[in-house]
């Protein structure tokens, strides 16, 4: 048991509770840049980390009626097969002698930059969608179910490759497609979708040997109390202060992955 990992889990968990930003955008870069853990193992371990940490959130949001299970099902209809196929691709590629590290790092960079842009513009995205919803062509509104499944496919591929996207990007997509949905239902539905997605993607990485179970347990020991502490402190710190700082840091890290 490495207590430095536990302390890192505590810090990341605190930030998750404080800002609501998914752990992939925070934990995976930390494992790679600070601890020098190979990208594939960092991604695989973080996927199972996310599945466990968000499972309690599903129970809590479901009790409050904050989960739109139909929408969650549409997202999963796309994301679960996409995660399975992406995991299979990585596994077969590795067996064929292809090192997926470069692809994972590139995917991480893309996902982190997109996450930072979403954090910077979340309110603008919601306002734009609400303003233009009623003006959208009828055919576009009628294919929203198909667009939701398509969004799930994109998230399934991106999350499996990078462990980033199930949180902030998923919420942004739901906000854009369902702008009249209350914020708490968007959050609850996004978390409910993230659990099976990250669990399946994480198990795919586990099958490839890209999960460090000792590291995972150390991170969880710190993150679970950290999320609780951050959630309680978050109410006293304005979001307009925390989100721009976090978005700037994530953007900087994402650009570094792409360079």
Residue ranges per structural domain of the chain = 3-258
Cα separation, 242 vs 223, in Å, equals 19
Rounded-to-integer distance, Cα 22 and Cα 15, Å: 9
pLDDT at position 67, please?
92
Question: What's the chain's length in residues?
Answer: 259
Cβ atoms of residues 158 and 165 within 8 Å: yes
- Residue 54 has a CB neighbour count (10 Å cut-off) of 25
Q: What is the mean pLDDT of residues 77-87?
A: 97
Two tokens at 99?
């090192």
Q: What is the mean pLDDT of residues 197-210?
A: 94
Residues 256, 27: Cα–Cα separation, whole Å: 16
Q: What is the pLDDT of residue 235?
A: 57
Look up the pTM and report it. Answer: 0.90
Q: What pLDDT does residue 137 have?
A: 67
pLDDT at position 48 is 94
Higher pLDDT, residue 131 or 137: 131
Does 196 or 138 have the greater pLDDT score? 196
Phi first, then psi: what are they for 256, rounded to 5°? -65, -35
pLDDT mean across residues, the chain: 87
**Residue 153, pLDDT above cutoff 80:** yes
**Per-residue confidence band for 133, with pLDDT thresholds at 50, 70 and 90:** low
Distances (CA, A) of 188 to 55, 123, 171, 192, 202: 11, 18, 9, 6, 21
């Amino acid at each position: 048991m490495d207590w430095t990992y536990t302390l890192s889990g505590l810090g990341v968990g605190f930030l998750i509770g404080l800002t609501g930003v998914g752990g992939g955008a925070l934990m995976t870069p930390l494992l790679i840049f600070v601890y020098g853990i190979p990208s594939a193992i960092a991604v695989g371990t973080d996927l199972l980390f996310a599945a466990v940490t968000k499972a309690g959130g599903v129970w809590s949001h479901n009790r409050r009626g904050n989960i739109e299970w139909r929408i969650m099902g549409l997202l999963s209809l796309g994301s679960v097969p996409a995660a399975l196929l992406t995991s299979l691709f990585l596994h077969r590629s590795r067996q064929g002698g292809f090192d997926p590290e470069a692809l994972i790092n590139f995917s991480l960079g893309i996902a982190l930059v997109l996450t930072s842009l979403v954090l910077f513009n979340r309110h603008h995205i919601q306002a734009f969608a609400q303003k233009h919803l009623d003006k959208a062509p009828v055919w576009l509104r009628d294919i929203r179910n198909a667009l939701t499944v398509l969004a799930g496919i994109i998230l399934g591929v991106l999350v499996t490759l990078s462990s980033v996207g199930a949180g902030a990007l998923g919420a942004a997509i739901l906000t854009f497609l369902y702008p009249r949905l209350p914020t708490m239902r968007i959050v609850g539905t996004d978390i409910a979708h993230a659990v099976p997605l990250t669990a399946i993607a994480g198990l795919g990485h586990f099958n490839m040997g890209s999960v460090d179970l000792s590291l995972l347990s150390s991170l969880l020991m710190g993150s679970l109390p950290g999320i609780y502490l951050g959630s309680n402190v978050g109410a006293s710190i304005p979001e307009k202060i925390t989100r721009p700082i976090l978005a700037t840091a994530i953007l900087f890290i994402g650009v570094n992955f792409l360079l």
